[in-house]
A = this chain, B = another copy of it.
Amino acid sequence: MSDSRMAASGLADAMAGDERAAAIAWSVIAEGADEAAAWLVGELGPSDALVWLSDAQADPVAATMRLAPLAQPQTIDKAVAAAERWLARLVEADPAAHLRRAQAVGARAVTRVDSEWPEVLDDLGARAPYALWVRGAGNLNELMARAVAVVGSRASTSYGEHAAAEIAGGVSDAGWCVVSGGAYGIDAAAHRAALTGPTPTIAVMAGGVDRLYPAGHSDLLTGVLDRGIVFSEVPCGFAPHRSRFLARNRIIAAAAATCVVEAAARSGALNTVSHALEWGRPVGAVPGPVTSVSSQGCHRLIRDGLAVLVADARQVLELAGPISPDPEGDRAGGFGDAGQRAAFDAISKRGSRTADVARAAGLGIGEALAALAGLELAGLAAQRDGVWRRREIGRK
């Protein structure tokens, strides 16, 4: 056994049963985009996954057999094939060393066993980060529990920056946290506006939080740290590689809703959107002039039914938050007329489009529109993305 293999084995043994230390080690060993690692750690837990890794170098066949009951052979083959790559990093993964390095810049590690762990990340299943490296005065779990992602192109227009600022300012005013990536363009406009509001903002970095990236935003990100949070899933010292930006986007997308302010047809912001949809989060997109390439991605999302058109912070928060029924609404006798009653009854449990309501209620489109608008005003129905739903009292 080589010295480095012995060192790896010793580290794995030292962390046996210590899920926090093991999770921190995995944040060093495996990238956020490493699906084989996500599967292995998800199946075994961080500590047992480390033990498995240590065993795998000694006896690959036994290691394969151990996983056999858990998945299809191709999944297991991938984990076994990746073991060498992970082992190479395991020797560098001493949690104590990484924690010391983090402490030098005032950062802390947060894992699933810590109270500050953002519960919203549990919705990512095995694809949640192993650990987070966190700087700043805020409480990460509390902020992420009421957070909206405001994202968009680095190549933003002044229109887009204005719209981002209006929305982010309104989100902060409403007591919701603006999460973004700290990048130039829309991200920066969103953070800046949020900083003027009452609610702390969060910037999620692609590289380690010892290096506030991009360098041109060190003032902005220092401002974020003052009351809010800058965090990353990679330890201090890790560079912001391109693949880490893509992996980082899945964490931003864990916010209650994602709002894309400006995005060209192939903008990276659309990557964040696809993650948000994967996590079952609603997506809003801000329209802009059809003459602006910076709005093409937003228009495409709206046309494809992947995002709801949003024009202001209120509409973004409608996506993020529970629909609160009008407490004054008298459900039993609240119908303005027979058309409203018929339209209400015609709304199916799973939601109905206007034309479906008209057909089911035997109303003309114009009548159905009028009736539904009346129901909306009375707080008895709400419409989102073209689909009408009855408002359920106490619905979350």
B-contacting residues of A (Cβ < 8 Å)?
159, 162-163, 166, 274, 277-278, 286-291, 295-296, 299, 302-306, 308-309, 311-312, 315, 353-355, 364-366, 369, 383, 385-387
In the complex the two chains form, is B369's CB within 8 Å of A291's CB? Answer: no
| Beta-carbon contact of B163 and A278 below 8 Å | no
Could you show 13 A-B contacts with beta carbons less than 8 Å apart? Answer: A163-B291, A277-B355, A277-B366, A278-B366, A287-B287, A287-B309, A296-B311, A299-B309, A303-B308, A303-B309, A305-B383, A306-B354, A306-B369
Closest chain B residue, CB of each to CB of A367: B278
Give A359 Cβ to nearest chain B Cβ, in Å: 11
* Contact with A305, one of B296, B311, B386 (Cβ below 8 angstroms): B386
B290 touches A312 (CB 8 A): yes
**Taking CB as reference atom, which chain B residue is nearest A274?**
B366
Q: How far is the CA of A288 from the CA of B286 in the complex (A)?
A: 10
> What is the minimal beta-carbon distance from A80 to any residue of chain B, in angstroms?
24
* Contact of B305 with A385 in the complex, beta carbons under 8 Å: yes
A298: nearest chain-B partner, CB-CB: B287
The chain B residue sitting closest to A305, CB to CB, is B386
Residue of B nearest to A370 (CB): B274
- Assess the A159–B289 pair: CB atoms within 8 A: yes
Contact of B274 with A365 in the complex, beta carbons under 8 Å: yes
Shortest distance between the CB of A306 and any CB in chain B (Å)? 7
> Across the interface, which residues of B come within 8 angstroms of A366, CB to CB?
274, 277-278
B159 adjacent to A304 (CB under 8 Å): no
Using Cβ atoms and an 8 Å threshold, which residues of chain B touch A166? Answer: 290
Q: How far is the CB of A186 from chain B (nearest CB, A)?
A: 14
Q: Is B365 touching A304 in the complex (CB atoms < 8 A)?
A: no
New A-B contacts (7) at CB < 8 Å, excluding given A287-B290, A303-B383, A304-B354: A159-B291, A277-B355, A288-B288, A289-B289, A296-B311, A305-B383, A306-B369
* Pair B311/A364 contact, Cβ less than 8 Å: no
Knowing A286-B290, A290-B312, the reply to whether A302 touches B302 (Cβ < 8 A) is yes
Task: Determine the chain B residues whose CB is within 8 A of the CB of A289 once the complex forms.
Answer: 159, 163, 287-289
Q: CA of A306 to CA of B386 in the docked complex: distance in angstroms?
A: 7
A81 to chain B, nearest CB (A): 23
- Residue of B with least CB distance to A364: B278
Is the pair A387, B309 in contact by a Cβ cutoff of 8 Å? Answer: no
Separation in Å of the A119 CB from the closest CB of chain B? 22
Closest to A373 in B: B304
